[in-house]
Structure 1
Amino acid sequence: MIQLKNIQYTYPEGTKGLEDVSLTIESGSKVAFLGENGAGKSSLFLVINGIHKPQKGEFILDEARFKFTNKERKQMARKIGYVFQDPDVQLFAASVYEDIAFGPFNLGLNKKEIDARVEKNLNLLGIQDLKDKAPHQLSYGQKKQVAVAGVLAMEPEIILFDEPFAWLDNRHKQIMNDIIDDLNQQGKTVLISTHNPDFAFEWADKVVLMKEGRIIAADSPEKTMCNKTLMQEIGMELPLVVQLAEKMGIDSYSRSIKALLQEV
């Protein structure tokens, strides 16, 4: 479980990233974060991943306060994995194998275990043929898959995806979607930052709406994303199925839109 209590983070040049953010994330849940660029989604993920240390507030991970020491940050790698929006931020080694192996190597695993983890995730992502290629030779979608494989090789319990579908073609979007679904079926906690209200509405257990570094609402998709006032406040459209329900004259609060979607 993750608990954030009154988190405040301001960047060194003075830009406010997060303001009085409090949030609870249950183990095994699927949580989508929605908001415009600059809403604070990435800043929040960087705090959760231990990269940004907030100036105020508490970050509690599995009932223990996280103090952002170097030791705790190294231990964090075993617990939480972060797939950045831009895969080039993560890929740096001479080959795909070396990139995926980097994390497990730094965990101090032996070569046999490292090889096993690399092979497992090459197979999971369907990128066995890329094993010996240099990351700079890959397409954007392939780079994204390698970045995901590198995070999964660490076998974290909690995985953060920052805009996982950004700039992907339809085939790679489907691959990414299948990976995300598989992770949650394994019992992983999956957090996704996205600009796609339709995906968030259908996929998430909980939706967090953000604006200017604050959480505007955090509840079920039905209670957050069927609320036109809340969605307008964060600068986003209602999910298409909710718009359809409105046109059909269906009260989205008295009946589950997801149930409606299954009937249509």
Structure 2
Amino acid sequence: MKEEAKEILRLENIKFSYDKKNIAIDDISLSLYSGEKVAIIGENGSGKSSLFLACNMINKISSGNIYLKNKKLSNKRSQINQVRKSVGIVFQNPNDQIIASNVYEEISFGPMNLGISIDEVRSRVEKSMEILSILDYRDRATQYLSGGEQKKVTIASILSMEPEIILFDEPMASLDMKSSRELEESLDMLSDKGIGIVASTHDIDFVWRWAQRIILMDKGKIIVDCKREEFFDKEEILSTYNINIPILYSVGKKLNLKSLPRCIEDLL
């Protein structure tokens, strides 16, 4: 039985700008929980990536507060390190994240810098590779992996830090159908293990099929934050922000089904 979701990260009225004129995050309040599957949507420039970088404290907010499991965080290095252990980011392009030439070295890099024992590092690396079924990647050169394989390695490198939330920036970008399907299965599996998964995406069919909660952003603000089923009933919002109706949702409405994805799972 899945454990009750616990609040891991809370943002209160945070703001961030890359310069004084252009506000990237404008007074956002948000809570993220263990085990939940959240999709963040919005046009390019709406603030999705900036929000991720603020959650991980890569971007230093100009105002507001960030809490990790109800503890208010400061800009002390020790607290920044703590939030980055608990909240990992998988970037859109694996090449922006992979730094080692060897898969094992890449996955072990994070825990090696935590000051834990070598035995614990090995244990975490092995466990992360096993979870993602990439034990046979161990000695492979990272530059010769396919896009899907690189994505799995970047996820394993984050898993080895034992995070409680993982943020995915456009997780399906540049992946073929097989790799996309395998990655979606990995996201479900991580959620089942109690890790909160937050994915920014433009793939509205993936959003309907996968997400439990949907957040719509525009101009650095959160416009809507609600359950998936509620979101696609907001016809005025969908029209205003030019959001296409997912194919599965359209079929479900015609068949008068409340949860078409679950119905398809039952049939399969």
Matches within 5 A, 1:19-168: 19-168=26-175
Pair 1:256 & 2:258 matched = yes
Q: 1:202 aligns with which of 201, 205, 209?
A: 209
Cα shift readout 1:184-241 (whole Å, capped 9, x = no counterpart): 1111111111111222223222110111111110011111123222123333212212
Pair 1:178 & 2:180 matched = no
Q: Offset at 1:261? A: 4.8
Cα shift readout 1:16-73 (whole Å, capped 9, x = no counterpart): 2111212222333221111111111111111111111111212222111122322211
Amino acid aligned to 1:256: K
Q: Distance in 2 between matches of 1:60 and 1:120?
A: 29
The worse-fitting range, judged by mean Cα deviation, of 59-68 and 207-216 is 59-68
* Unpaired stretches in structure 1, ≥5 consecutive residues: none
Secondary structure of the residue that 1:22 maps to in structure 2?
Answer: strand
Q: Offset at 1:257? A: 4.4
Aligned to 1:224: 231
Q: Distance in 2 between matches of 1:249 and 1:177?
A: 26
Q: Is the 8 A contact 2:87 2:165 kept in 1?
A: yes
Pair 1:9 & 2:16 matched = yes
Query: How many residues matched?
Result: 259
The worse-fitting range, judged by mean Cα deviation, of 122-131 and 97-106 is 122-131
* Unpaired stretches in structure 2, ≥5 consecutive residues: 1-6
Amino acid aligned to 2:151: K
Q: Is the 8 A contact 2:209 2:261 kept in 1?
A: no
Q: Offset at 1:157? A: 1.0
Q: Is the 8 A contact 1:35 1:235 kept in 2?
A: no
Secondary structure of the residue that 2:115 maps to in structure 1?
Answer: coil
Q: Distance in 2 between matches of 1:110 and 1:58?
A: 34
Q: Offset at 1:9? A: 0.9
What root-mean-square deviation, in Å, do the aligned CA atoms of Structure 1 and Structure 2 show?
2.1
Q: Distance in 1 between matches of 2:157 and 2:136?
A: 16
Cα shift readout 1:145-177 (whole Å, capped 9, x = no counterpart): 111110011111111111111111122112211
The worse-fitting range, judged by mean Cα deviation, of 140-149 and 114-123 is 114-123
Secondary structure of the residue that 2:199 maps to in structure 1?
Answer: strand
The worse-fitting range, judged by mean Cα deviation, of 110-119 and 237-246 is 237-246
Amino acid aligned to 1:182: M
Q: Is the 8 A contact 1:209 1:217 kept in 2?
A: yes
Amino acid aligned to 2:212: D
Distance 1:147 1:249, change over 3 A: closer
Q: Distance in 2 between matches of 1:81 and 1:245?
A: 35
Q: Distance in 2 between matches of 1:67 and 1:183?
A: 29
Cα shift readout 1:121-148 (whole Å, capped 9, x = no counterpart): 2222222332222212222221111111
Amino acid aligned to 1:59: I
Q: Is the 8 A contact 2:15 2:27 kept in 1?
A: yes
Q: Offset at 1:243? A: 2.6
Distance 1:141 1:25, change over 3 A: same
Secondary structure of the residue that 1:31 maps to in structure 2?
Answer: strand
Q: Offset at 1:245? A: 4.6
